[in-house]
């Protein structure tokens, strides 16, 4: 379980981005962090990913504070796919994916390649392995970035606005693909796309002004917004 307790984060200019955040993220769920721009949802994701250090509070994974976990070990427990994806344009899909196991897990190149092909086949995108990022669509690039993160077999995978560059049809297909993968990892998704969250998430939080407005079952949250699912 991932547990957030009394989390507060203040920007260098003195603005409070997160104020006394408390929530739990159960495994095998798709958890949505929803809210409008400036609500604090991406800041919360960056704290969970240990890219920002909160002023107060703690983030626990299986009862252990993430700041007491060795960096290499933490990256095997919590992965992240940023909104920009950061695929290396000069490397093929396969070459992009083998970097993490080689650098983080210290696997040799051949073993990393075998694991990468196995991951691509499992995710149904093996046909992309020899393509370069410029040769694939936005939706395919999202899948590749997720495959690159999943190869480390993290317990939790954080996704920052994964549908921001996708059209409506691609968003629907991508959502179904994520639902099929929830046995592989627990997805924690930051999104302002409420219809997308309603289709794929099981639980989550709605944020506003750095606070959690409501939390729990996704359908119950959406009822507070008068949105039918």
pLDDT higher than threshold 80 for residue 4: yes
Query: Domain count of the chain?
Result: 1
Per-residue pLDDT of 20-61, as tens digits, reads: 999 999 887 799 999 988 899 999 999 999 999 999 999 999
pLDDT top residue among 227 and 57: 57
Q: Is residue 193 part of a domain?
A: yes
**Domain for residue 229, yes or no?**
no
Q: Are 218 and 225 in contact (CB under 8 A)?
A: no
Share of the chain above pLDDT 90, in %: 52
Does residue 200 belong to any structural domain of this protein?
yes
Q: pLDDT band at 226, cuts 50/70/90?
A: low
Residue 25 lies in a domain: yes
Token pair 């344009």: residue? 89
Residue 204's contacts (CB-CB under 8 Å, 6 or more residues apart) are 31, 32, 33, 34, 197, 215, 218, 221
Domain that holds residue 79: 2-224
How are beta strands 56-61 and 64-65 bridged, if at all? Answer: antiparallel
- pLDDT band for position 228 (cuts 50, 70, 90): very low
Is 149 within a domain?
yes
CATH number, domain with residue 25: 3.40.50.300
Q: Write down the pLDDT at residue 192.
A: 87
| Per-position DSSP letters for 35-46, written without gaps between them | E-TTSSHHHHHH
pLDDT value, residue 40: 93
Q: What are 117-161's pLDDT values in tens digits?
A: 988 988 888 999 999 999 998 888 888 998 999 888 899 999 999
């Amino acid at each position: 379980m991932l547990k957030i307790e009394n989390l507060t984060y203040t920007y260098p200019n003195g603005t409070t981005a997160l104020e006394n955040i408390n929530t739990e993220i159960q495994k095998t769920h798709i958890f949505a962090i929803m809210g409008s721009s400036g609500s604090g949802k991406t800041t919360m994701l960056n704290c969970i990913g240990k890219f920002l250090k909160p002023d107060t509070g703690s983030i626990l994974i299986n009862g252990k504070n993430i700041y007491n976990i060795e960096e290499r070990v933490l990256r095997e427990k919590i992965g992240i796919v940023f909104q920009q994806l950061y695929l290396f344009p000069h490397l093929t899909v396969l070459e992009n994916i083998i970097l993490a196991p080689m650098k983080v897990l210290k696997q040799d190149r051949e073993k990393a390649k075998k694991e990468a092909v196995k991951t691509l086949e499992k995710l149904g995108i093996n046909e992309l392995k020899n393509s370069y990022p410029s040769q694939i669509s936005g939706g395919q690039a999202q899948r590749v970035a997720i495959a690159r993160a999943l190869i480390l077999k993290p317990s939790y995978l954080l996704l920052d606005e994964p549908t921001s560059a996708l059209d409506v049809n691609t968003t629907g297909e991508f959502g179904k693909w994520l639902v099929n993968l929830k046995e592989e990892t627990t997805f924690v998704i930051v999104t302002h796309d409420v219809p997308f969250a309603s289709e794929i998430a099981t639980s989550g939080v709605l944020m506003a002004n750095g606070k959690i407005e409501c939390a729990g079952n996704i359908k119950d949250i959406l009822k507070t917004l008068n949105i039918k699912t």
